A and B are shown apart, each in its own frame.
Chain A
Amino acid sequence: SQQGEEDPQALSIQEGENATMNCSYKTSINNLQWYRQNSGRGLVHLILIRSNEREKHSGRLRVTLDTSKKSSSLLITASRAADTASYFCATPPTGGFKTIFGAGTRLFVKA
């Protein structure tokens, strides 16, 4: 079954605004990872949050994880036009290596 369902599917904001993307998953996990994909390119690993962590920061990125709700959020603060990309969450299930990706959120940041 599908893990990592993101919402919204698409998000359009002005440069300087914050962007929040959400991800839900279905089974227990060891960690959850967020990726960025610029159009037609490979995936860039942004951040990994472990199942025993609730919040993690990396530069302008803030990720939260709520294992009781099986959900995570990615916040990009002070967005830039260069942040325009698709963002995916990914969850390798506990005890397995089959990472499942959600459908992704397409973020468009207008200059």
Chain B
Amino acid sequence: SAVISQKPSRDICQRGTSLTIQCQVDSQVTMMFWYRQQPGQSLTLIATANQGSEATYESGFVIDKFPISRPNLTFSTLTVSNMSPEDSSIYLCSVLRGVQETQYFGPGTRLLVL
């Protein structure tokens, strides 16, 4: 399994501000993923982050709104910029681990934008 931690675990923010979420993994991984889960919904992939290259964003997500950093093989950050109430969600980071590529998730960051 993988041990993944996220900071903060939750936050309440004002609209127009930005929040940076940190994800730390207990060992090196090639790819890290950021997901969003809106209230009562399933998970939607925001972007895939590889160390040393630009993140790859999914349709509907742009770098200006969700800039991602991946400075090394155990750490990544996701920033939610210029927040609006529609950004209120749980944000989860995830990694693939093992020969069978089991996908593991962090505990999530619960964001409420007022």
Contact = CB atoms under 8 A, between A and B. Distances in A.
Interface of A: 30-31, 33, 35, 40-45, 48, 50, 88, 90, 92, 97-104
Interface of B: 1, 31, 33, 41-43, 45, 48, 58, 90, 92, 96, 100-108, 110
Q: Which are the 7 A-B pairs with shortest beta-carbon distances?
A: A42-B107, A43-B105, A101-B43, A42-B108, A101-B42, A42-B105, A103-B42
A31 B108 contact: no
Contact of B48 (A33, A43, A98): A98
A97 B106 CA distance: 18
B106 A45 contact: no
A90 B44 CA distance: 11
Contacts of B31: 97
A69 to B, nearest CB: 22
Most chain B beta-carbon contacts within 10 A, residue among A33, A92, A101, A103: A101
B104 A45 contact: yes
A102 B42 contact: yes
Contacts of A97: 31, 33, 48, 96, 101
B45 A45 contact: no
Nearest to A50: B100
Contacts of A45: 1, 102-105
Contacts of B106: 42
Nearest to A98: B45
A99 B1 CA distance: 18
A53 to B, nearest CB: 11
Contacts of B41: 103
Nearest to A104: B42
Contacts of B48: 97-98
